[in-house]
Amino acid sequence: MNTYDLKIFLEVAKNNSFSVAADELYMAQSSVSKAVKRLEDELDVKLFIRKHSSIELTLSGKELYSSLNNLIPEFNKMIKRVKTVADNRPVEVAYMIPMMKFNLPELFNRFTLLYPDIHVSLEQYTSIEEAADNLQFYPPITLMYARDKFKHLYDYSSLCEDQLVAVISKQSTLSKWTCLSIENMKNETILTTTMSSKQFIMELFSEIGAVPKLLEINSGPRREIALRKVTYGHGIAIMYKSDLEMFRTESLQICAIKELPRTPLVLGILKDYKLSVQEQTLVNYLTASARDPIYTNVL
């Protein structure tokens, strides 16, 4: 049954007039008459008694009119519930980077606290191609390293140039280098101040089949303690570069880490993809986090 025909029937019955209903609905009177006729044929009943200059509802018409008016509030509630379910579907994000390298778990935990009604589903892939093979389509929202080869598919928003760095004393034998590899650091004590940096180091060391000598600093002014230890030659601190801005670093050397990718982390939105309200909220949050100083230790 065509719900639009029911709407036309309700308008005719309310006004007791085909012509008035046609004006209200911005339709031709002949189209209104055809819609009512279709409804009568489908129900196999007469809904109106047609007189020379007026119409009135038959008993069947009155029953249908009354029933529909009772159903409309429930129908509208049902439509609202259906839309709510659709709107509350998880925001799916594909990512092609090790989460811990950019402290992404903390970033998404913050989002959940700010927007508890929006559920984010994260799925890791080794590449865009793998994601497309698994999903049978290119993922509409991705976190990945920028690549020119995908610029025809995605619009990029740069999120992060603030990668983790190795902080060493200028008195260290490693201070002749401005870029350290995991091989350089494998015999050194590694100071970590966050779970993400610890996980990051463990991941990188595992890639060369080594186990890091970790010293976790998990209480007090952690970054300050770590930098003080480094100043006196007690290990290498792994920190986000932005974390160093509040400290004096004249006696320290900040080194890039060779194994980290050279390309920036970006948020990729599939070209011509229409974001839902929930997806747009997440995108706005991620791009704002990249600009807001209070998030610089996250992105």
Average pLDDT taken over every residue of the chain: 83
pLDDT at 235 over 80: yes
For the packed helices 29-43 and 18-25, what is the interaxial angle rounded to 10 degrees? 110
Q: With cut-offs at 50, 70 and 90, classify the pLDDT of residue 217.
A: confident
Using alpha carbons, list the distances in angstroms from residue 272 to 64, 159, 178: 44, 21, 42
pLDDT at 46 over 90: yes
Percent over 70 (pLDDT), the chain: 87
Which pLDDT belongs to residue 100? 58
Q: Is 68 left (phi over 0), alpha (psi -120 to 50) or beta?
A: alpha
8 versus 88: the higher-pLDDT residue is 8
Q: With cut-offs at 50, 70 and 90, classify the pLDDT of residue 37.
A: very high
258 versus 169: the higher-pLDDT residue is 169
Which pLDDT belongs to residue 99? 64
**What residue ranges define each of the domains in the chain, with the CATH number in brackets?**
3-87 (1.10.10.10), 91-161+262-295 (3.40.190.10), 164-257 (3.40.190.10)
d(CA 242, CA 31): 67
User: Rounded to two decimals, what is the model's pTM?
Assistant: 0.44
